[in-house]
């Protein structure tokens, strides 16, 4: 049973992002259309996580519209002040009149009114922006929480084969970082939609003021688009590289922390530090490459904006001079209109940035979302039937009927295994390593389904029962005793949280754990280190046995329960198991033959089959494999070789 509950040891993730991060870069040619369809499906699935928040999204849309309007109006009070108030020859149109219509007729009243309007617009703009950000955070956290719930629940139901084949760091990274992918897609879609509307409205307004200057303003657009494309692509590549190296670093850290006792025992601290240092350096170098591109990006942006501002100021200044001084024209270019152009050109960057970066951004977040959905779409190895029946927990007969199993096609781990275990019996499965004992126990807890035959409780096939009901009948003590970073009482009561202190203490006493627990600083309230590092192996195993004894499960399944116990506590546990005979059904997998002497049935396994069965004395009389095992036991230790 050694591997049944073993957590996957985190290994280094592949350095190849495409293999581990599943970015699925867009293919070319005939496959492009299919890829785009799949991308759209990913985007729709990602945004569906925010359907319950449609009211917040509607409010966000309203605030975005208000923010766009305020952004477009912010420069107008100054333009109206210059063109219509602080001049001997007022210029203006209906927009100027709209601002001035509610203000006093006096110049000072108009100046103060326009100042207050400008200040109010800015304050409202800041407030709307802050509200938008808080709603963004709210949507982000709520949607990402739903993604994490789904992903964590999926990890909980995926079989042991999945968890054994992948490093823990990969699962941690998907839960911590990739879970933000759906929100990234949602945010990118919203931002790009706002950018498209903003750019359209700004262009219409600018064209209505002066078509020539508008074309001059947009003369820098190709350079903006080029810089967005150029640096956006580089940043995208560097971000993918950094994300993968960060995932690798997570795995390296997880491995290093789990290997500390081994490193200390074999004096490998320096070697472990070199591995850690290399991973950190790769992460730092990747981040610096990303940071360098991120700093070149605003440098290029500001340079283009400076050139665009110079073009507008130069050409616009000439138009103002021409229309106001050389050949005055009533509807000509004014200083206020020039300020509008300068403000709008400054605000052109963000909309163009969103539009030109849309594909790169959404691909980046799709890569993360695909990693999440790839896990969510994985078929579960154990599927509960829609017609599964609920069965109450009570003493039952376990029937193993011609069970066969293999982890892969063509592999035979178990073949034609049959046994009947009645309530109150104590039975044992013995045999050398690799005979299929632990696999059989995994089938009893329905971690796997047999590939042939069936397991039944009172004649009901496991596959026709709820998985939770099957496992509620079984209390497991594995070879590796899992200890939680919690109190001793919480560890013992893990399988039965409602148990009171007296019940917990009684279970600890039966498991031979009460003595050392009462010597701990806080007794049952002592908080144990993760993995029980502040306990000995035998102490950890006794707590695991107490945990199983505390449950109401009618079957007590123990895999090498005495392997970490000293002779005194082993004797105590055997006496406990003898006392439980008739009260619970006890199933032992063990190498210590002394533990099976009092069993009602002993099943001797070899090559995935049961080759002998019977009581201890019956098997000795037969002089078969069991008897030879007894003969090979050195100095009466009664342990299998």
Equal fold, 33-376 vs 396-473+554-635: no
pLDDT at position 489 is 93
Tokens of 361: 């951004």
pLDDT at position 36 is 58
Share of the chain above pLDDT 70, in %: 91
Q: How confident is the model at residue 572 (pLDDT cuts 50, 70, 90)?
A: confident
Mean pLDDT to the nearest integer, 159-175: 75
CATH number of 396-473+554-635: 3.40.50.300
Question: For 356-406, how does the pLDDT look when each residue is reduced to its tens digit (9 = 90+)?
Answer: 778 777 877 888 888 889 888 887 777 777 788 899 989 999 999 999 998
Tokens of 294: 């991120």
* Homologous superfamily of domain range 33-376: ABC transporter type 1, transmembrane domain (1.20.1560.10)
Strands 585-589 and 474-477: unpaired
- The owner of tokens 């089959």 is 609
In this predicted model, which residue has the larger pLDDT, 169 or 622?
Answer: 622
Does the pLDDT value for residue 34 go beyond 60?
Answer: no
Q: Residue 157 is inside which H or E element, if any?
A: helix 107-157
pTM: 0.71
Question: For 263-307, how does the pLDDT look when each residue is reduced to its tens digit (9 = 90+)?
Answer: 887 788 888 899 889 889 998 998 898 888 878 878 887 888 788
Q: Which residues of 567-583 are buried (b: 16+ CB within 10 A; e: fewer)?
A: eebbebbbebbeebeee
Measure the CA–CA gap between 105 and 111, rounded to whole angstroms. 10
Q: Where are the domains of the chain?
A: 33-376, 396-473+554-635, 480-552
> Which of 455, 483, 328, 437 lies closest to 399 in space, CA to CA?
455
CATH class label, 480-552: alpha beta
Strand partners, 389: 465
Strands 414-421 and 555-559: unpaired
Number of Cβ within 10 Å of residue 438's Cβ equals 21
Measure the CA–CA gap between 231 and 299, rounded to whole angstroms. 11
In this predicted model, which residue has the larger pLDDT, 110 or 636?
Answer: 110
pLDDT at position 565 is 65
Mean pLDDT to the nearest integer, 588-610: 86
Does the pLDDT value for residue 17 go beyond 80?
Answer: no
């Amino acid at each position: 049973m050694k591997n049944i509950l073993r957590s996957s040891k985190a290994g280094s993730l592949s350095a190849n992002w495409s293999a581990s991060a599943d970015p699925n870069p867009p293919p070319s040619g005939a496959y492009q259309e299919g890829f785009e369809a799949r991308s759209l499906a990913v985007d729709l699935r990602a945004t569906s996580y925010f359907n319950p928040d449609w009211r917040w999204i509607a409010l966000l849309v309203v605030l975005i519209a208000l923010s766009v309007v305020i952004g477009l109006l912010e420069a107008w009070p100054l333009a109206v002040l210059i063109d219509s108030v602080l001049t001997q020859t007022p210029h203006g149109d209906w927009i100027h009149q709209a601002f001035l219509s509610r203000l006093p007729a006096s110049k000072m009243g108009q100046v103060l009114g326009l100042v207050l309007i400008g200040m109010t617009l800015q304050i409202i703009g800041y407030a709307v922006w802050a509200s938008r950000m808080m709603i963004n955070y709210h949507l982000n956290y709520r949607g990402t929480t739903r993604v994490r719930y789904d992903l964590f629940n999926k990890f909980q139901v995926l079989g042991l084969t999945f968890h054994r084949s992948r490093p823990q760091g990969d699962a941690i990274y998907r839960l911590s970082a990739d879970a933000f992918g759906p929100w990234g897609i949602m945010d990118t879609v919203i931002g790009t939609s706002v950018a498209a509307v903003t750019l359209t409205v700004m262009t219409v307004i600018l064209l209505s003021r002066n078509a020539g200057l508008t074309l001059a303003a947009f003369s820098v657009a190709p350079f903006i688009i080029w810089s967005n494309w150029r640096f956006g692509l580089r940043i995208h590549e560097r971000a993918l590289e950094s994300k993968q190296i960060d995932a690798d670093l997570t795995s390296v850290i997880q491995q290093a922390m789990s290997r500390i006792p081994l490193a200390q025992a074999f004096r490998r601290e320096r070697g472990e530090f070199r591995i850690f240092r290399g991973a950190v350096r790769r992460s730092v170098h990747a981040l610096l490459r990303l940071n360098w591109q991120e700093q070149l990006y605003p440098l290029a942006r500001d340079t283009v904006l400076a050139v665009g501002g110079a073009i507008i100021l130069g050409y616009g200044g000439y138009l103002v001079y021409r229309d106001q001084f050389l050949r005055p024209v009533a509807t000509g270019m004014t200083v206020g209109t020039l300020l509008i152009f300068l403000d709008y050109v400054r605000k052109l960057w963000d909309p163009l940035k969103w539009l030109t970066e849309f594909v790169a951004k959404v691909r980046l977040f799709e890569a993360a979302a695909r990693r999440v959905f790839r896990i969510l779409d994985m078929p579960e190895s154990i599927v509960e039937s829609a017609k599964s029946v609920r069965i109450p927990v009570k003493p039952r007969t376990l029937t193993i009927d011609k069970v066969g199993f293999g982890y892969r096609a063509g592999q035979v781990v178990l073949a034609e295994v049959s046994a009947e275990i009645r309530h109150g019996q104590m039975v044992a499965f013995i045999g050398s390593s690799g005979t299929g004992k632990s696999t059989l126990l995994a089938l009893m807890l329905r971690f796997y389904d047999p590939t042939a035959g069936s397991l039944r409780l009172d004649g009901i096939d496991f596959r026709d029962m709820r998985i939770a009901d099957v496992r509620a009948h079984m209390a497991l003590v594995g070879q590796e005793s899992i200890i939680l970073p919690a109190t001793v009482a919480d560890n013992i009561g893990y399988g039965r949280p409602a148990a009171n202190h007296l019940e917990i203490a009684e279970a600890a006493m039966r498991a031979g754990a009460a003595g050392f627990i009462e010597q701990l600083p806080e007794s049952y309230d002592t908080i144990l280190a993760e993995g029980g590092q502040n306990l000995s192996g035998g102490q950890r195993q006794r707590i695991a046995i107490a945990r199983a004894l505390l449950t109401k499960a009618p079957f007590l399944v123990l895999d090498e329960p005495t392997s970490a116990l000293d002779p005194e506590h082993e004797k105590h546990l055997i006496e406990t198991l003898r006392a439980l005979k008739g009260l619970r059904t006890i199933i032992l997998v063990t190498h210590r033959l002394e533990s099976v002497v009092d069993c009602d049935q002993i099943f001797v396994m070899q090559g995935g089959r049961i080759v002998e069965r019977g009581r201890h004395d019956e098997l000795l009389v037969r002089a078969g494999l069991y008897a030879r095992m007894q003969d090979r036991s050195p100095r009466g230790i009664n342990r299998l070789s």
